[in-house]
Amino acid sequence: SDLAPVGGFDDFGLGASNLHVYCATKAYVDALARCATAAGTTVRAYVVTPSAYATEMAGGLDASAEESTVVNSWFKGAAGDPDDVARVVEAMIDNSTLWAPGSNVVCEYKFTYDAHQRYRQLYAPEARGRIAVDVPLDALKDFRGDDAHLTPDAVDAIVRDFQAKHPPPGRGVGGEDYDAGSSSSSSSSSEKQNGASSSEEGANRRNDIWRGAATTHGADDL
């Protein structure tokens, strides 16, 4: 299996950044997996397409959670754990996956769906510039590709649970305002400020990408 991030499905525009080259390479990865499968060999090939996951490249948990509001179709505000992507890949390797060889499998939070949900909208004029697309809830699968049986209420509960456990910078657990100088805190103000600065730097790295997208397509499209 190979990895092709969700951003590879849509070009952010020529000239705004070098992401058009990045997106083209991801389209190549997808085509390569399909061609390898069509060749009739005994090699099984898949493409795994992650959305927003808390990785160092993405800027960490806070930046990835913010990114998820742009790229995720359902779990907006909830960054995935990279280990959940690894479970998808592991199932493909040990052949316990239900996904057919040649499949392009999108990973979103702890769930998956077939990338044809994105491809069927890719060339629609109204979808140009959009990173997240409309995916039917009943299209969501578990890490092996079995039906997830999710409801809108279940999705909302998952996002609320994530946000309660991982409040954004400047907010405490449960959503209360965070005061770096509060005497009730067990750590020093300087430690908190250093942590906030680190989170901000990580978020800024990823925000540069979205600024490029907004410049090309307009902020209302993102």
Residues lower than pLDDT 70 in the chain: 1-19, 39-41, 129, 169-222
Q: What is the pLDDT of residue 170?
A: 55
Spatial distance between the Cα atoms of 52 and 132, rounded to a whole number of angstroms? 11
Q: What is the pLDDT of residue 145?
A: 97
Q: What is the pLDDT of residue 93?
A: 94
Q: What is the pLDDT of residue 169?
A: 64
SS3 68: helix
Q: What is the pLDDT of residue 173?
A: 44
Q: What is the pLDDT of residue 135?
A: 92
Q: What is the pLDDT of residue 1?
A: 43
- Per the listing, tokens 């090309």 go with 216
Spatial distance between the Cα atoms of 75 and 156, rounded to a whole number of angstroms? 8
> What is the CA 31 to chain-centroid distance, rounded?
21
Q: What is the pLDDT of residue 177?
A: 44
Q: What is the pLDDT of residue 153?
A: 96
Q: What is the pLDDT of residue 175?
A: 46
Compute the chain's Rg from CA coordinates: 19
pTM above 0.85, yes or no: no
The string of pLDDT tens digits covering residues 126-156 is: 777 677 788 999 999 999 999 999 999 999 9
The CA angle 116-119-125, to the nearest 5 degrees, is 145
Q: Are 148 and 154 in contact (CB under 8 A)?
A: no
Spatial distance between the Cα atoms of 30 and 183, rounded to a whole number of angstroms? 54
Tokens of 129: 């510039």
SS3 148: coil
Q: What is the pLDDT of residue 143?
A: 96
> What is the CA 112 to chain-centroid distance, rounded?
11
SS3 80: strand
Q: Are 67 and 206 in contact (CB under 8 A)?
A: yes
Spatial distance between the Cα atoms of 97 and 99, rounded to a whole number of angstroms? 5
